[in-house]
Amino acid sequence: IVVTGSDDHLWKMWALPDGNILMTGEGHTDWLSGCCFRPSGTQLVTSSGDTTVRIWDLSRRGCILTLKGHARTVQDCSWHSQGDYVASASMDSTSKIWDVNSERCRYTLRGHKDSVNSVEFLPFSSTLLTSSADKTLSLWDSRTVSRLF
């Protein structure tokens, strides 16, 4: 199974190797820039040019949560390995850590001087990696929101 996002504002889940579409998600109002499965495989997070991050419940076949708070396009998204937190990277030069259970932004990471283009939780740790158009990488401790590197 693979998930893709597109300029048509949709994400699609495909079966491999036959290429059949298993599911389609609609609700974003601009292009999709990223998608990532929850580690349990029951949900999906997507990021979009519409400045939102959305959580999708795959068994319900729909969006269950829209996270708003970025001022510009959200470039990327990532689930924490425990599944309770999602990180997002935006063209507004920030990354955010979202608490999925409380449905709100827990932290905003500031420090890059240009668009944050990718974000990834390191497996089984509290460390978050961001990369930016300012030509830097940063490692963050997501518990204290301190920059490690």
Assign 57 a pLDDT band (cuts: 50, 70, 90): very high
Structurally, how many domains does the chain consist of? 1
CATH number of the domain within which 81 lies:
2.130.10.10
- Return the HEC string of 73-115: CEEEEEECCCCCEEEEEECCCEEEEEECCCCEEEEEEECCCCC
Backbone angles phi, psi at 143, to 5 degrees: -80, -35
Does residue 94 form part of some domain? Answer: yes
Question: Could you tell me the residue range of the domain that residue 135 belongs to?
Answer: 30-141
Does residue 43 form part of some domain? Answer: yes
Residue 144 has pLDDT above 90, yes or no: no
Does residue 9 form part of some domain? Answer: no
Does residue 24 form part of some domain? Answer: no
Does residue 57 form part of some domain? Answer: yes
Does residue 2 form part of some domain? Answer: no
Tell whether pTM > 0.75. Answer: yes
Closest CA to 80 of 62, 63, 101, 97: 97
Residue 119 has pLDDT above 90, yes or no: yes
Q: How far apart are CA 79 and CA 124, in angstroms?
A: 11
Task: Render pLDDT for 88-107 as a digit per residue (tens, 0 to 9).
Answer: 999 999 999 999 999 999 99
Residue 113 has what pLDDT? Answer: 97
Does residue 136 form part of some domain? Answer: yes
Two structure tokens written together for 41: 């495989």
Does residue 66 form part of some domain? Answer: yes
